[in-house]
Amino acid sequence: MSGAGANYSLDTEVQFLKGVGPKTAMLLGKLGIKTVRDILWFFPRRYDDRSKLPQLLMLRAGEAQTVRGRLVDVSTRGTRGGKVLIRAILDDGTSQVGLVWFNQPWVARELQKVQGGEIVAFGMVKEGQGRSLEMTSPEWEVLDEDDEVGDFARITPVYPLTEGVPQWAVRKAAASAIEYFSRLLEDPLTEEILRANRLKPLSWCIKQMHQPDSPDTLDLARGRLVFEEFLYLQLVLQMRRNEVKQEVGISFPISQLEHLLPGASPSLFAAADGDHKGDLWTQVHAMLPFELTGAQKRVIGEIWQDMERPYPMNRLVQGDVGSGKTAVAASAILAAVKCGYQAAMMAPTEILAEQHYLNLVKLFDPLGITVNLMVGKQTAKQKRTAMEKAAGGEAQVNVGTHALISEGVKFHKLGLAVIDEQHRFGVVQRMALRQKGFGHPDVLVMTATPIPRTLTMSLYGDLDLSVIDELPPGRKPIKTHWKKPWDRDKVYATVRTLIQEGRQAYFVCPMISESDKMQTQAAEDLHYRLTHETYPDLRVGLLHGQMKPAEKEEVMEQFRRHDLDILVSTVVIEVGVDVPNATVMVIEDANRFGLAQLHQLRGRVGRGSHQSFCILVADATNPDSEKRLRILEETTNGFKIAEEDLKIRGPGDVVGTRQSGEIEFQLANLVDDGPVLETARQAAIGILDRDKNLSRPEHQMLLQKIREQRSYEALIVVS
Ligand code: ADP
Ligand code: MG
């Protein structure tokens, strides 16, 4: 360290680092590196293991290798394709290897400067012309006279760079920062946390990240830093969760309902555990056209218990397609309404909102409970009426899209907010609806498609979790088959056979674009083809997003009544339609749909006692899409499908469009680091058990760190 004196800190500018001058500092600035702290946390993109530099004689094709030798020749020539080919020869006395670049004349210039000198190169070794070995576009650097060879005989960090910034500049700055500053690093994790989770101290880990002793020490270092990232997030979520439990919420007097309601029967139906929700159970039974599954009953029980508690409910209900979340939501809504409050149910799309609306009208109308719809496409007059009904309290149940959280919307006494999440809302929208409530309303979030556990914990860690892990009885697992386009005739024949046996079929038209109009066109085309060419003798209906709600409902009703044999549809049927006699679904161009979406679609069949089939018609255009189709053939388990989807697509995609305020990690990866997330979650719970506000002196750095995490802003300020 040059004479910066005693007052240097991690905020010292990199230009004051030994071996880094203003010029290099400027280059580092391009990477966003300004201070010593920045460079210490600027981690390598990957590492080259140069601890074993092979002799060139021992080099084999097909492996990424680091080699060292004298640059004995550099030549440049034009190729027939009009490109510039640069070829250099590296020699270490045992053998030679060729280094090849295309169209990078500056590389030739650099190489010519050092011809005759020693360089180190890293790259994939391939067999070149005449069985000689070569590397294409290797990374390389000059071995300076004063460089210890030992410096290279190690695992070397390779940093992510931007144009004009050379590797050596970052390496030098990082090495210098570690040498002179790493002892200034204070560990936000206490001895106790480190010991309990078998983690290494921060300064050791930072050094290993930049200069690993071995792959194992690197793993330990990375593991600890990942843990730390997850720990901060989990602390925020758990604190948030505890905070909500300290708020004064609505205590719905569910157990006393029988006393409130005239003529209610005594607790004949009271659960064995002695609670007195018997009357409400009776009403739920009367309202629903089927017997609830054990899982549904359990989850409804959990929700009602939450609703009775004096603090606000904040619960996530997770359940596979067709597990019957609507009935669960309706039971929660019924409880809220019976206790004299309004309820709201928010869905991510208009179609889904309308579908929920129709379903809820069917359930609540006979009970004299008013259901209100709020969606963007309503006319000004319809909107005004809907808003009046919500604000005046006339509508006890309010269903809609995000129109529900738009500015002018007010509720008279909103006690329960149900959010059918489907991955499309974020924490922000959740909070927005909550803020429209009467004091602190209860919040119920439902996910229609299962999300892998790691994502659930990171995105919904502030929520209590209920899982509907049982499907309604009598459902046979759907058999799924992937067929190639040229097998279409056979597919059509199979469908015909099933229809002749008295069943019905869905045809889902290919997803052409996001545009409603294009989708409609595709559905109309398929409808035309099936009506006129394939099944002129059968009754074929059509359903798409541009139809009016009444028209849609009419077509669905015809299909339900079995006035139609086949329903051609866009993804509109992803939600809501429930026809047990429909036992086969043909999905055209299945490649174009996401895995989770296909699973969702498929959930429309397999609802009755007959064996159901899902036929995916698709070309496998690449290994990924082939893999996805195979997964669907192999399993009907939504959670497994969600895990696979996460592996193939990465977390950003699975959760849908990234909203602002979505969580990002520097090192942690939700696909691979799931187990660490689990440990961090347990650790966070443990820490907060002992120190619920992180107010102890030894936790001050942790608290500080949490406040620094910008992406957590959406998760509500940690006060
Ligand atoms: P999802 O969880 O996918 O939202 P739904 O709530 O749409 O599922 O329910 C799927 C279908 O299963 C609905 O049409 C509903 O009528 C039916 N269903 C739900 N629960 C039961 C049950 N306990 N017994 C029989 N059918 C049920
Ligand atoms: Mg649903």
3-state class (DSSP) for residue 259: helix
**Beta-carbon contacts of residue 655 (< 8 Å; ≥ 6 apart):** 423, 451, 455, 459, 662
- Could you tell me if residue 98 is inside a domain? yes
Ligand 1: which of 298, 325, 326 to mutate, judged by most atoms within 8 Å of the beta carbon? Answer: 326
pLDDT at 118: 87
Tell which residue, 603, 548, 551, 546, has the closest CA to residue 573.
603
Residue nearest to atom 5 of ligand 1 (CA): 324
Q: Decide which of 617, 635, 653 is a domain's last residue.
A: 635
pLDDT band of 423, cuts 50, 70, 90: low
pLDDT band of 110, cuts 50, 70, 90: confident
Q: Which ligand is nearest to the CA of 578?
A: 1
Name the least confident of 64-68, 144-148, 453-457, 473-477: 144-148
3-state class (DSSP) for residue 169: helix
- Could you tell me if residue 655 is inside a domain? no
Q: Decide which of 576, 604, 635 is a domain's last residue.
A: 635
Query: Are 330 and 428 contained in the same domain?
Result: yes
Residue 664 predicted with pLDDT over 80 = no
- Could you tell me if residue 523 is inside a domain? yes
Distance 499 CA to ligand 2 centre (A): 27
237 against 186, higher pLDDT:
186
User: How far is it, in rounded angstroms, from Cα 517 to Cα 301?
Assistant: 44
Query: Are 127 and 268 contained in the same domain?
Result: no
Q: In degrees to the nearest 10, what's the CA dihedral of 399, 401, 405, 406? A: -120
Q: Decide which of 635, 665, 698 is a domain's last residue.
A: 635
Residue 504 pairs in a beta bridge with 582
- Could you tell me if residue 105 is inside a domain? yes
Residue 657's identity, in one-letter code, is T
pLDDT at 5: 46
Residue nearest to atom 4 of ligand 1 (CA): 325
Name the least confident of 16-20, 74-78, 425-429: 425-429
- Taking the model in full, what pTM does it have? 0.67
Residue nearest to atom 10 of ligand 1 (CA): 322
pLDDT at 266: 39
pLDDT at 108: 86
Residue nearest to atom 24 of ligand 1 (CA): 472
**Cα–Cα distances in Å, from 281 out to 255, 262, 313, 327, 397?**
11, 16, 20, 13, 19
- Could you tell me if residue 427 is inside a domain? yes
User: How far is it, in rounded angstroms, from Cα 100 to Cα 74?
Assistant: 10
Tell which residue, 600, 592, 537, has the closest CA to residue 566.
537
Place of tokens 């469908």: 495
99 and 88 in contact (C-beta within 8 Å)?
Answer: yes
Which residue spans within 277-413 are E strands per DSSP? 314-319, 342-346, 371-374, 397-400
508 and 570 in contact (C-beta within 8 Å)?
Answer: yes
Label each residue of 378-435 as H, E or C. CCHHHHHHHHHHHHHCCCCEEEECHHHHCCCCCCCCEEEEEEECCCCCCHHHHHHHHH
Strands across the sheet containing 397-400: 371-374, 397-400, 342-346, 414-420, 442-447, 314-319, 464-468
| Six token digits for residue 449 | 């498609």
Name the least confident of 54-58, 199-203, 618-622, 668-672: 668-672
Query: Are 290 and 431 contained in the same domain?
Result: yes
Distance 472 CA to ligand 1 centre (A): 7
Structural domain including 129 reads: 52-153
Residue 337's identity, in one-letter code, is V
pLDDT at 150: 46
3-state class (DSSP) for residue 473: coil
Q: What percent of the chain has pLDDT over 70?
A: 86
Question: What average pLDDT does the segment 316-336 reach?
Answer: 92
Residue 714 predicted with pLDDT over 50 = no
Residue 645 predicted with pLDDT over 90 = no
Residue nearest to atom 26 of ligand 1 (CA): 472
Place of tokens 């691979």: 672
CATH number of the structural domain spanning residue 142? 2.40.50.140
* Residue 420 phi, psi (nearest 5): -85, 95
Distance 291 CA to ligand 1 centre (A): 10
* Residue 207 phi, psi (nearest 5): -60, -45
pLDDT band of 187, cuts 50, 70, 90: very high
Distance 422 CA to ligand 2 centre (A): 9
Name the least confident of 156-165, 226-235, 469-478, 653-662: 653-662
Query: Are 424 and 287 contained in the same domain?
Result: yes
Counted domains in the chain = 3
Question: What average pLDDT does the segment 299-307 reach?
Answer: 95
User: How far is it, in rounded angstroms, from Cα 297 to Cα 536?
Assistant: 46
Residue 61's identity, in one-letter code, is A
pLDDT tens digit sequence for 584-624: 999 998 988 878 778 888 988 988 889 999 999 998 777 77
- Locate the ligand 1 atom nearest the alpha carbon of residue 327 and give its number: 6
**Cα–Cα distances in Å, from 217 out to 94, 110, 293, 665?**
33, 35, 50, 21
Phi-psi group of 67: left, alpha or beta (phi > 0 → left; psi -120 to 50 → alpha; rest → beta): beta
Ligand 1: which of 300, 357, 578, 600 to mutate, judged by most atoms within 8 Å of the beta carbon? Answer: 578
Query: Are 297 and 427 contained in the same domain?
Result: yes
Residue 659 predicted with pLDDT over 60 = no
**Beta-carbon contacts of residue 218 (< 8 Å; ≥ 6 apart):** 47, 155, 208, 209, 212
pLDDT at 425: 55
Residue 10 predicted with pLDDT over 80 = yes
Distance 408 CA to ligand 2 centre (A): 28
pLDDT at 454: 67
pLDDT band of 274, cuts 50, 70, 90: very low
* Residue 93 phi, psi (nearest 5): 95, -25
State the alpha helices, DSSP H only, in 501-622: 516-529, 549-560, 595-602
| Six token digits for residue 376 | 């963007």
Query: Are 266 and 408 contained in the same domain?
Result: yes
692 against 660, higher pLDDT:
692
Residue nearest to atom 19 of ligand 1 (CA): 324
Question: What average pLDDT does the segment 61-65 reach?
Answer: 83
Distance 321 CA to ligand 2 centre (A): 7
399 and 369 in contact (C-beta within 8 Å)?
Answer: no
Q: Which ligand is nearest to the CA of 347?
A: 2
- Could you tell me if residue 428 is inside a domain? yes
Distance 503 CA to ligand 1 centre (A): 20
**Ligand 1 binding site (Cβ under 6 Å of any ligand atom):** 290-293, 296, 319, 321-327, 448, 472, 578
pLDDT at 461: 76
Around ion ligand 2, residues with a beta carbon closer than 5 Å are 325, 448
Highest mean pLDDT of the ranges 150-154, 503-507, 568-572, 596-600: 503-507
- Locate the ligand 1 atom nearest the alpha carbon of residue 576 and give its number: 7
Question: What average pLDDT does the segment 341-346 reach?
Answer: 96
Query: Are 425 and 529 contained in the same domain?
Result: no
CATH number of the structural domain spanning residue 606? 3.40.50.300
- Could you tell me if residue 85 is inside a domain? yes
pLDDT band of 716, cuts 50, 70, 90: very low
Distance 326 CA to ligand 2 centre (A): 6
Number of other CB atoms surrounding residue 485 within 10 Å: 11
Distance 607 CA to ligand 1 centre (A): 9
pLDDT at 153: 53
Ligand 1: which of 288, 290, 298, 609 to mutate, judged by most atoms within 8 Å of the beta carbon? Answer: 290
Question: What average pLDDT does the segment 264-277 reach?
Answer: 44
Distance 343 CA to ligand 1 centre (A): 21
Number of other CB atoms surrounding residue 308 within 10 Å: 19
Ligand 1: which of 321, 323, 605 to mutate, judged by most atoms within 8 Å of the beta carbon? Answer: 323
> How much is the mean pLDDT over the chain?
84
Please, what is the angle between helix 278-287 and helix 325-338, to 10°?
130
3-state class (DSSP) for residue 161: coil
| Six token digits for residue 540 | 């074929």
Place of tokens 């309902």: 257
Place of tokens 């798409």: 544
Residue 286: exposure state from Cβ atoms within 10 A (0-12, 13-18, ≥19): exposed
**Cα–Cα distances in Å, from 542 out to 525, 530, 679?**
10, 11, 51
Q: Which ligand is nearest to the CA of 351?
A: 2
640 against 577, higher pLDDT:
640
Distance 288 CA to ligand 2 centre (A): 15
Residue 259 predicted with pLDDT over 70 = no
Q: Which ligand is nearest to the CA of 294?
A: 1
Query: Are 281 and 332 contained in the same domain?
Result: yes
- Could you tell me if residue 36 is inside a domain? no
pLDDT at 265: 40
Number of other CB atoms surrounding residue 695 within 10 Å: 9
Query: Are 373 and 511 contained in the same domain?
Result: no
Please, what is the angle between helix 325-338 and helix 350-364, to 10°?
60
Residue nearest to atom 27 of ligand 1 (CA): 472
Please, what is the angle between helix 202-210 and helix 215-246, to 10°?
130
pLDDT at 263: 42
Query: Are 440 and 550 contained in the same domain?
Result: no
293 against 150, higher pLDDT:
293
Distance 647 CA to ligand 2 centre (A): 25
Residue 289 predicted with pLDDT over 90 = yes
Name the least confident of 34-38, 43-47, 563-567: 43-47
3-state class (DSSP) for residue 373: strand
Residue nearest to atom 9 of ligand 1 (CA): 324
Residue 169 predicted with pLDDT over 70 = yes
Question: What average pLDDT does the segment 402-416 reach?
Answer: 92
User: How far is it, in rounded angstroms, from Cα 527 to Cα 253?
Assistant: 52
Query: Are 270 and 377 contained in the same domain?
Result: yes
Tell which residue, 587, 583, 586, 585, has the closest CA to residue 607.
583
Query: Are 301 and 442 contained in the same domain?
Result: yes
pLDDT at 531: 96
